Each structure stands twice: as C-alpha cells, then as structure tokens.
Amino acid sequence: MLKKIVYTLVFVFSCGVLMAQESVDSVALESDSLLMLEISDSTLCLQLDSQVILPLPLDTILHDYFVEKSFQIDCERADSGAIYYSDSVYMARLQSMPHIMEMTYNRVVKACIERYARCPKDVGYMLGIGNTYYFPMFEEALERYNVPLELKYLPVIESALNAKAKSPVGAMGLWQFMVGTGKIYGLEVNSMVDERRDPRKASDAAACFLADLYKLYGDWHLVIAAYNCGPGNVSKAIRIANGKRNFWEIYPYLPRETRSYVPLFIAANYIMNFYEEHNMCPAVPMFNYATDTVMISDRVHLQQIAEKVNIPLDELKFLNPQYRYDIIPGNIKPYPLVVPFEHINSYALNRDSILAYKPELAKREIKFEPSEGEVIYYKVKSGDTLGGIAKKYRVSVKNLQKWNKLKSTTIRVGQKIKIYK
C-alpha cells in the first residue's frame, strides 16, 4: 500500500467529481494477453525462488481468534502435501480465467504460485472468509468505479484478509491504507474510529484510488505497483528505465517488496480460482454471514448490544472492526453498526433498553497507554530461531527480546513469543 504520498501530486483527483465525468476505460482483452515472458535480466533472476516477499505474513488472518474459531477446514486433501504443475499447465489455467488485466506468466509468477501452494491452511481460511463475506463486498466497490474485478484479490496479498492487519510502517486494514492516503479518500481516522478497518468504506476508497492511479499510468500492472510503493517510486523507476512503461521492464528499479507484488497478485488470482487442483478446500463458516446495517445515534459499547441482543461479542467486533475501543461514538454523529441479519429484529425490539443496560461500559474513561501496536503470539516450533521469527514478522530481534523480556536469543519449543504488529 502507498507508504507515503506527496500532497502536491494533483493526480489524486476528487473521485466523486472526476469519476462522474469520466469513467475508466476497460482494457481490451487481447488473445495473447497471457505471456510466457522470458526473463534474461540477471538482476531479476536473482530475486526468484528465495526472495518472494509478502507485504504481511501469509498467516496474518490466523491470528484473528474469531476467524480461527469460526471457520473450520474439514478436508482430508488439505494434508496431502503441496502439488505443483508444469509451466504449460499454469499458463493454460491463467489463460482460461476471465480477465481484463494481463496475467503474465514467468518464473517469478511460478515461484509465487508455488509459495501459495505450500500454504493450504492459510489459503483455505482466506477462501472461506473471502467467498463468504469479503469478495462480494470488494466486487461491489470495484464495479462502482469500473475497475477490473480481478482486483478483489489485492487484499489477499495486502492483509491476508485481516481487517485489523497493521503493517510495520502503520498501514492499516484490508486494503492497508496509510493515515494520509486514507483521509484523502474520505476515511475517518481519529482516536475512536478508524475507517481504514471498515471493510465497506475502505473498499470504496481503494477502488477510487485504483481508478485514479489508472488515469495516471494507463496500465494495471503499474497501477498495482504504485498502490504498493507509491506513484513516486513507480515514476522514478520509469525515468531510470528511459521511459519504459512496462512493469517487467522497470522491475529491477522498483523497491524490493514491489518486485514481488505484481507476481503475487497474479498468483493470488490463480490460487483463488484453482485451489481444488492443489488439494485445497475453503474453510466452512460456523455462522451466517448475512448482515444488515443500522445507524447509531448514541454512545454505546458493543458489549451492551451483544448481551442484550444475544450476539456473540467476538462476532459483533468482527463485523465492526473500525471502532478502536468497541465504543460507537454516536452521540457525536450517527455511525453504522453491522448486525447479523438473523438478529436485526431482536435489535429493533431491544433498541431502547440497550442504552440503559450497563451504561458504565459506554461512559467509562478510556485509558490511553503507550502501545506498540496490535499484539499476536507465536508458538515456537522445532527448528525455530529468534532471528527466523523476527524475519518472518518483519521485526527486529532486539524488539522481540524487549517484548518478551529475553536476556538472550535462546528460545524453547512450545514457548509463546509476543509480537507487536
């Protein structure tokens, strides 16, 4: 996601005005839109198999306790080991997918596909929560701005579909917006509410941003590269490459993480469509994801609603991740509350009594303590090292020692390591 943005870049158009005047032209699908690109550049080849970099660890979603307990992977095939195919099979499958964006195939893309193929549990959870809840939401937002629907898989590599995911540099949510970029695209970010974590509003902002980037570059691969590292870095790479405007030609001049970004995007499109061929199964949700939205005009705590309406609190938090302290500040202005559809009548019947139920929850003083971010816990496995864990979660060994009060780098199997994200 865009790590920095220069406010003087006038390309950040007023989306509501600009998009009403001129919609993004669809890119014509050519018969040779899938290319078997031969890579001869030595700089590129060095990056392939050992340096596929994920913006966030692929198992980010599994650190959401609610998701882990609310989805079940019931599939014998998932334990059968990774399955790989020949280049010709990968190429044919990519070509067979309905797509507007060019689905290039080369050694980099192959390495990314096989990176996903080795993670059946992670992919299974993303398939389950994506197909059940997020992907239709993403498609609606992309459709509004006439943006290719293939981009619904962008959050797979941005956040592993974790609405509360936070990057080491502070990007937040499914679409990994920085504060400045989020505010430019209409997302509210304050001490109580962070709409970067709101799945619907962040999806609309991301679709608008992607449409604006297309107006700047006219090439979807460059658009998603700019989404990752910022238009400044992409434009700089184009200048260094003597004006070439093809992702693969400017590849060596892009930031290291961004070099993996477009290949990972193509690979995500592949694995989300051909998971069965790799013995993967979507996780099955344990509850109904049909929801409705009501507006709240009072200050209320999610726990008050959950207990009065008989909704599991974890479920209500999952559906409303934008409220930092689980308090809806509706006394300031109306805010949305997403409620499971099966509980909407119960909410309507109990609406007046909710405010009178445990009112101290909503009125209590919020203690702002210095925080280093959202905490997760990693259980040490055989062969793990502190340095390896630090590299996986993109933190320093020194911080791991500090957070866990470790006097040395020695760790033991079964030990839980606290990690701030």
Domain identity same for 189 and 338: no
pLDDT at 185 over 70: yes
Q: What is the DSSP string of 379-421?
A: E--TT--HHHHHHHTT--HHHHHHHHT-SSS---TTPEEEEE-
Domain identity same for 205 and 318: no
Domain identity same for 245 and 151: yes
pLDDT, residue 2, reads 45
More confident residue, 206 or 369: 206
Is residue 235 domain-resident?
Answer: yes
Domain identity same for 300 and 401: no
Q: Average pLDDT, whole number, for the chain?
A: 82
Instruction: Give the least confident one: 16-30, 72-86, 117-131, 181-195.
Output: 16-30
Cα-based angle 36, 39, 40 (whole degrees, multiple of 5) = 145
Q: How many domains does the chain have?
A: 3
Boundary-marking domain end, from 324, 342, 363: 363
Domain identity same for 320 and 380: no
Confidence grade of residue 3 (pLDDT, cut at 50, 70, 90): very low
pLDDT, residue 36, reads 40
pLDDT in tens, 316-356: 999 999 999 999 999 999 999 999 999 999 999 998 899 99
Catalytic residue among 158, 249, 365, 369: 158
Cβ neighbours for 210, distance < 8 A, ≥ 6 positions apart: 142, 145, 147, 151, 223, 224, 227
Q: Looking up tokens 């079964």, which residue turns up?
A: 414
Domain extent, residue 384, equals 375-420
Reply yes or no on whether 158 is catalytic.
Answer: yes
> What phi and psi, each to the nearest 5 degrees, are found at residue 122?
-65, -45
Confidence grade of residue 288 (pLDDT, cut at 50, 70, 90): confident
Is residue 90 domain-resident?
Answer: yes
Is residue 368 domain-resident?
Answer: no
